């Protein structure tokens, strides 16, 4: 018998093989192929992290982990489907599969905690276009204050801070703790987009849970487009630290839940090298990747979403 509720779990997507990098980039650019120069630069970034991104592997693990957590709570009630924004399996294909599974209700979850008209909204609009209007659909729009996620981040910060202070010999006061998320074009601000506020709320909740007295926010991985992106950029913030009497930075990429290009390159290579050149101690927190406690929290949120819409 089919599971009564289909859960479409969505993530950004990554090229499955090097030959797919160009079509992936073209898809991200809304069908406009990149210049040779931009393509070479992107290939170079994938090369620098070992050829390809581990994002797909982590996303699959996350969907399996959430399915297991749902099965442990309500056996046979939920069937999960993995769909991606920019790569196979595209979320439209997975939404159609869900529609044909016999489910009588659908729930959508994006594996990114913060809502924006230019991030989560785009996933959900594409799902809604694909699902038949007769299938009841609930979109989980954000989960930036999910308790299991906040406590996970707080623990990671305390753990990484302890290691960094021990290794570098700097003091707690000399260390800047910086929460980051993917930047977006600044035009989102004109429409009162909740994205920057939600990142701040995540940071405030984590700071409270971890007992942090000072911390800041920065944006990372801004795209290579002509329009302005929201700032300050993490690299800019790092450059200012020595002038503020700081000797180290601990980055918590709270807008992401897996290791992928924007973490492994933009933070672990680019930001880390800049920090080294500025004489700053540097570390970043470990992402949830395969953390079952985060999966449990997400599963409970999915169950809650079903009951809230009955
Ligand atoms: O590991 C991988 O292979 C994929 C890493 C990856 C993740 C990711 C997440 C987000 N993005 C968001 C917004 C934008 C906007 C644009 C944009 C462009 C790129 C490019 C690459 C890329 N993104 Fe991405 N993003 C990842 C990778 N992203 C590569 C192209 C690089 C360039 O030209 O500089 C600009 C295009 C546009 O206008 O649409 C905007 C947001 C997230 C976090 C939320 C989510 O996961 O959905 C927001 C992972």
> What is the reported pLDDT for 61?
98
pLDDT at 310 over 70: no
Let me know if 103 is exposed, middle or buried by CB neighbors in 10 A (0-12, 13-18, 19+). Answer: buried
Average of per-residue pLDDT across 216-225:
94
pLDDT for 226: 87
The predicted structure's pLDDT at residue 309: 76
* Sheet with 248-252, side-by-side order of all strands: 216-220, 175-182, 248-252, 281-284
ipTM over 0.85: yes
Binning pLDDT at 50, 70 and 90, where does residue 135 land?
A: very high
Is the predicted pLDDT of residue 58 greater than 80, yes or no? yes
Top mutation candidate among 43, 115, 262 for ligand 1, by most atoms within 8 Å of CB: 262
Q: Residue 176, annotated ligand binder? A: no
Res 114: pLDDT: 98
pLDDT band for position 1 (50/70/90)?
Answer: confident
Is the Cβ atom of 184 under 6 angstroms away from ligand 1? yes
Ligand 1 atom nearest to CA at 46: 3
Quick: pLDDT tens for 234-277: 999 999 999 999 999 999 999 999 999 999 999 999 999 999 99
Q: What are the residues whose beta carbons fall under 8 Å from the beta carbon of 116, sequence distance 6 or more?
A: 184, 188, 193, 194, 195
| pLDDT tens readout for residues 107-127 | 999 999 999 999 999 999 999
Ligand 1 mean position, distance from CA 65 (Å): 24
Q: What is the mean pLDDT of residues 130-157?
A: 97
Q: Which atom of ligand 1 is nearest to the CA of 13?
A: 4
* Mean pLDDT along residues 159-174: 98
Q: Which residue has the tokens 């939920």?
A: 78
36 is in an annotated binding site: no
Interior/surface letters 224-235, b for 16+ CB within 10 angstroms, e for the rest:
eeeeebbebbbe
How far away, in angstroms, is 85 Cα from ligand 1 center? 10
Backbone angles phi, psi at 4, to 5 degrees: -65, -25
Ligand 1: centre distance to CA 4 (Å): 33
Residue with CA closest to ligand 1 atom 41? 182
- d(CA 255, ligand 1 centre) in Å: 12
The alpha carbon of 182 and the centre of ligand 1 are apart by a number of angstroms equal to: 8
Q: For residue 211, report the distance from its CA to the centre of ligand 1, in Å.
A: 32
Query: Which ligand 1 atom lies nearest to the CA of residue 222?
Result: 34
Residue pLDDT, tens place only, 65-121: 999 999 999 999 999 999 999 999 999 999 999 999 999 999 999 999 999 999 999
Q: Is the pLDDT of residue 167 over 80?
A: yes
Ligand 1 pocket, 53 CB below 6 A?
yes
pTM of the predicted structure, to 2 decimals? 0.97
Q: Is the CB of 84 under 6 A from ligand 1?
A: no
Output the furthest CA–CA distance in the chain (Å, rounded).
64
Residue nearest atom 46 of ligand 1, based on CA coordinates: 12
Q: Indicate the pLDDT class of residue 219, thresholds 50, 70 and 90.
A: very high
Rounded to 10 degrees, the C-alpha dihedral 52/53/55/60 comes to: 30
Mean pLDDT of 15-19: 96
Q: Does the pLDDT at position 131 exceed 90?
A: yes
Give the chain as a 3 state SS string.
CCCCEEEEEEECCCCCCHHHHHHHHHHHCCCCCCCHHHHHHHHHHHHHCCCCCCHHHHHHHHHHHHHHHHHHHCCCCEEEEEEECCCCCEHHHHHHHHHCCCCCEEEEEECCCCCCCCCHHHHHHHHHHHCCCCCEEEEECCCCCCHHHHHHHHHHHHHHHHHHHHHHCCCHHHEEEEEEEECCEHHHHHHCCCHHHHHHHHHHHHHHHHCCCCCEEEEECCCCCCCCECCCEHHHHHHHHHHHCCCEEEEECCCCCCCCHHHHCHHHHHHHHHHHHCCCEEEECCCCCCCHHHHHHHHHHHHHHHHHCC
Residue nearest to atom 18 of ligand 1 (CA): 223
């Amino acid at each position: 018998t089919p599971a009564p509720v289909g859960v479409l779990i969505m993530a950004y997507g990554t090229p499955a093989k090097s030959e797919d990098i160009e079509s992936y980039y073209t898809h991200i650019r809304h069908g406009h192929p990149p210049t040779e120069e931009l393509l070479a630069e992107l290939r170079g970034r994938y090369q620098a992290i070992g050829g390809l991104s581990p994002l797909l592997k982590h996303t699959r693990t996350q969907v399996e982990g959430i399915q297991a957590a749902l099965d442990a709570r309500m056996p046979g009630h939920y069937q999960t489907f993995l769909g991606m924004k920019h790569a196979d399996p595209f979320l439209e294909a997975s939404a159609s599969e869900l529609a044909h599974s016999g489910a009588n209700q659908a729930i959508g979850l994006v594996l990114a905690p913060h809502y924006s008209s230019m991030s989560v909204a785009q996933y959900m609009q594409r799902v809604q276009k694909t699902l038949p209007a007769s299938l009841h659909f609930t979109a989980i729009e954000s989960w930036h204050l999910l308790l299991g996620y906040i406590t996970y981040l707080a623990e990671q910060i305390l753990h990484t801070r302890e290691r960094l202070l021990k290794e570098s010999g700097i003091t707690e006061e000399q260390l800047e703790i910086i929460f980051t998320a993917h930047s977006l074009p600044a035009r989102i601000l004109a429409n009162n987009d909740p994205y920057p506020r939600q990142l701040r709320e995540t940071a405030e909740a984590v700071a409270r849970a971890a007992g942090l007295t000072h911390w800041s926010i920065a944006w990372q991985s801004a795209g290579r487009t002509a329009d302005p992106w929201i700032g300050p950029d993490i690299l800019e913030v790092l450059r200012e630290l020595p002038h503020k009497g700081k000797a180290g930075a601990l980055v918590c990429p709270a807008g992401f839940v897996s290791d992928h290009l924007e973490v492994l390159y933009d933070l672990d290579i680019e930001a880390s090298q800049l920090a080294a050149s500025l004489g700053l101690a540097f570390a970043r927190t470990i992402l949830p990747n395969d953390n079952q406690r985060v999966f449990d929290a997400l599963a409970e949120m999915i169950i809650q979403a079903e009951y809230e819409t009955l």
